[in-house]
């Protein structure tokens, strides 16, 4: 980045000093601000305010500043005027000089003298020196014929930004001239030739090289010819000095002291970079081929951040690695789902268990456990739970569907048993057994109010069954015996 040096600023401030001495104290700070702003406004970086203050103190004397503000008063300005016009042109009596600047006719005479000294009355407006045009003239004179101001500009922008009019050893002849747009077009055209030269776009490093080193069209052409050479130097060692497509390129990756090989076909030495191919191979082996945790496979962003797909064959580009990853995840999930006792499910049915939003841990084994528990439809599972027979929030990893079915069946059988009784005595005789079976029911595996069906069946039977006086099994008397007794009682 360009910056202004303290030396250059001092040079300009010395010029400004000659302008400032003719102004009133009230306009000194304004002029300093105006002229300094002109000096700095086009620069990317200014100068530290402390440096600026130091330079100003050097001109007007540090004793005349306090807390960064000018406190010198009129005397300092008068002394500066004396130094500018020559002390020999002033009376030794400072009071007389001060009076000449403040009183009546003497003031007018002195002002005329100052105006004459600074280039004539046309340079003043209402007694105020118009410095802009004069400053421009000073700058022009300083630049003319490689004048002293050119050296200052060199200090500001850096000598490396300037070339002589004629080229010399180590210094190119600038063929761009002042045609900035033409130069930019040439840069952009050069950077777009990657497809023509390499079969793909230049990478960022190559583009920066064109911009940084391509000072002339000839140099740009030299760079364009050199880029394929540099690409070739970066190709795999087995490919150096070969221009033909390499059928197979194999690398070795060591993981936990064990060596694994990975091969890629159709390597183009001028297009593909060995380091990028190596990175892709290592990534495939370590993050895909050898991965055993379904939750640790790389994301799409992680794949993109590992290597540059433009510098490897299409067979291992990002899309291919995503497909390779997805295929490995599917096969690994199926392996864990099937375990040692494979189910009869087809591959697409197993994949449905992996992709459905069941909320189950992504292990394959958990999905198989839910399946073995009798919950065979993954889309009916949400947040690891399902519903069945009116039962809500059944934990599919803990509850087996068959256990629920068994408890429901127990209720049905017990209700059937109660409804089969024809005599109240039979119901009473089995009441203890009925109560025992009811107490043993797992009501948490039953639909709401399912167990109550037993009590309801029991109550209905008691309402319609009776004990009979003519049934000896109920403790009664046979009907014929009862009639005989009734007749005997009548005869008496």
Q: Each residue of 81-103: pLDDT tens digit? A: 555 555 655 544 455 545 544 55
Q: Residues 264, 319: one domain?
A: yes
Q: Look at residue 233 in the predicted model and tell me its pLDDT.
A: 63
Average pLDDT rounded to a whole number, residues 51-75:
61
How many Å apart are CA 244 and CA 184, to the nearest integer? 36
Report if residue 492 sits inside a domain.
no
Render pLDDT for 330-344 as a digit per residue (tens, 0 to 9). Answer: 999 999 999 999 999
Residue 382 has pLDDT above 90, yes or no: yes
So what's the pLDDT on residue 202? 78
Give the residue from 313, 335, 357 where a domain finishes: 335
d(CA 250, CA 112): 92
DSSP tag of 460: H
pLDDT-based confidence at residue 197 (cuts at 50, 70, 90): confident
Identify the pLDDT of residue 78: 57
241 found inside a domain: no
Give the mean model confidence (pLDDT) for residues 467-486. Answer: 70
Q: What is the length of the chain?
A: 492
Residue 453 has pLDDT above 60, yes or no: yes
Average pLDDT over residues 240-244: 51
Beta-ladder partners of 168: 171
> Could you give the percent of the chain with pLDDT greater than 70?
57
Q: Are residues 11 and 28 in the same domain?
A: yes
Name the average pLDDT for the chain. 76
Between 464 and 29, whose confidence is greater? 464
**Is 28 domain-assigned?**
yes
| Longest Cα separation, the chain | 181
Q: Residue 446 corresponds to which tokens in the numbers above?
A: 């039953």
Among residues 311, 335, 359, the one where a domain terminates is 335
Residue 172 · residue 160 · CB < 8 Å: no
Q: Domain check: are 207 and 281 in the same one? A: no
432 and 343: one domain? no
Number of domains in the chain: 5
Band the pLDDT of 118: cuts 50, 70, 90. low
Work out the average pLDDT over 219-241.
68
> So what's the pLDDT on residue 340?
94
Q: From CA 135, how far away is CA 132, in angstroms rounded?
A: 5
pLDDT at 476 over 60: yes
Q: Are residues 433 and 465 in the same domain?
A: yes
190 and 269 together in one domain: no
| pLDDT, tens digit, 9 for 90 and up, residues 25-42 | 445 555 555 655 555 554
Q: Is 194 a domain residue?
A: yes
DSSP H helices in 118-168 = 131-143, 148-157
**Does residue 485 lie in a domain region?**
no
Distances (CA, A) of 460 to 125, 171, 197, 240, 465: 122, 115, 96, 97, 9
Let me know whether 149 and 265 are in one domain. no
Instruction: Kindly state whether residues 297 and 221 are assigned to the same domain.
Output: no
Q: How far is CA 186 from CA 178, 193, 209, 222, in A?
A: 14, 11, 14, 14
Mean pLDDT score, 267-288: 93
Is the pLDDT reported for residue 243 higher than 50?
yes
Q: Output the pLDDT for position 45.
A: 46
pLDDT in tens, 140-162: 666 565 566 566 665 665 555 55
46 & 129 share domain:
yes
14 and 122 assigned to the same domain = yes
Task: Examine the domain organization and report whether 203 and 123 are in the same domain.
Answer: no
Please classify residue 290 by burial: count the beta carbons closer than 10 Å to its beta carbon, then call 0-12 exposed, 13-18 middle and 19+ buried: middle
- Which uninterrupted H or E stretch holds 324? helix 318-338
Distance in angstroms (rounded) separating the CA atoms of residues 146 and 323: 67
13 has a pLDDT exceeding 70: no
Looking at the fold, whether 52 and 136 belong to one and the same domain comes out as: yes
Instruction: Give residue-wise pLDDT tens across range 157-182.
Output: 555 555 555 544 444 444 444 455 66
> Residue 383's pLDDT is what?
96
pLDDT of 31 reads 55
- Dig out the tokens for 216 from the structure: 């002339």
- pLDDT given at position 327: 97
Query: 464: domain range?
Result: 418-474
Residue with more model confidence, 106 or 245: 245
Share of the chain above pLDDT 90, in %: 41
Higher pLDDT, 222 or 130: 222
Residue listed under structure tokens 């009546």: 104
CA distances from 484 to 58, 472, 477, 489 (A): 153, 16, 11, 9
Report pLDDT digits (tens) over 400-450.
999 999 999 999 999 999 999 998 989 998 999 999 999 999 999 999 999
- Among the candidates 279, 305, 335, a domain finishes at 335
């Amino acid at each position: 980045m360009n910056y202004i040096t303290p030396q250059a600023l001092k040079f300009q401030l010395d010029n400004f000093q000659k302008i400032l001495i003719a102004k009133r104290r009230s306009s000194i700070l304004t002029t300093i601000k105006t002229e300094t702003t002109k000096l700095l406004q086009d620069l990317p970086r200014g100068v530290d305010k402390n440096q600026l203050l130091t330079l100003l103190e050097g001109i007007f004397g540090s004793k005349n500043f306090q807390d960064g503000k000018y406190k010198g008063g009129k005397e300092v300005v008068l002394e500066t005027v004396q130094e500018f016009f020559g002390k020999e042109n002033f009376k030794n009596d400072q009071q007389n000089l001060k009076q000449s600047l403040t009183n009546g006719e003497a003031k007018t005479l002195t002002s005329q003298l100052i105006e004459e000294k600074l280039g004539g009355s046309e340079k003043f407006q209402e007694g105020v020196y118009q410095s802009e045009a004069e400053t421009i003239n000073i700058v022009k004179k300083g630049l003319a014929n490689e004048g002293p101001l050119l050296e200052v500009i060199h200090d500001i922008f850096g000598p490396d930004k300037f070339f002589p009019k004629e080229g010399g050893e180590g210094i190119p002849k600038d063929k761009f001239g002042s045609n900035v747009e033409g130069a930019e077009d040439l840069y952009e055209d050069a950077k777009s030739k990657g497809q023509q030269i390499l079969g793909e776009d230049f990478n960022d490093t190559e583009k920066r090289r064109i911009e940084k080193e391509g000072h002339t069209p000839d140099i740009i052409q030299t760079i364009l010819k050199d880029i394929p050479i540099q690409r070739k130097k970066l190709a795999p060692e087995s490919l150096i000095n070969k221009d033909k497509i390499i059928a197979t390129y194999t690398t070795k990756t060591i993981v936990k002291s064990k060596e694994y090989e990975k091969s890629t076909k159709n390597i183009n030495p001028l297009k593909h970079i060995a380091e990028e191919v190596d990175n892709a191979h290592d990534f495939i082996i370590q993050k895909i081929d050898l991965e055993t945790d379904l939750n640790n496979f790389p994301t799409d962003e992680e794949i993109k951040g590992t290597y540059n797909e433009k510098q490897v064959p299409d067979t291992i580009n990002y899309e291919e690695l995503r497909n390779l990853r997805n295929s490995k995840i599917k096969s690994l999930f199926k392996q864990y789902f099937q375990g040692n006792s494979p189910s009869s499910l087809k591959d697409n049915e197993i994949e449905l268990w992996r992709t459905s939003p069941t909320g189950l841990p992504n292990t394959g084994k958990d999905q198989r456990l839910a399946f073995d528990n009798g919950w065979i439809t993954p889309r009916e599972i949400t947040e690891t739970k399902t519903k069945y027979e009116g039962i809500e929030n059944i934990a599919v990893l803990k509850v087996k569907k068959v256990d629920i079915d068994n408890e429901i069946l127990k209720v049905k059988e017990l209700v059937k048993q109660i409804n089969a009784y024809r005599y109240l005595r039979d119901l009473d005789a089995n009441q203890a057994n009925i109560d025992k079976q009811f107490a043993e029911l797992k009501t948490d595996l039953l639909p709401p109010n399912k167990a109550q069906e037993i009590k309801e069946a029991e109550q209905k039977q008691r309402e319609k069954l009776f004990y009979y006086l003519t049934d000896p099994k109920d403790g009664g008397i046979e009907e014929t015996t009862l009639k005989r007794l009734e007749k005997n009682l009548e005869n008496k």
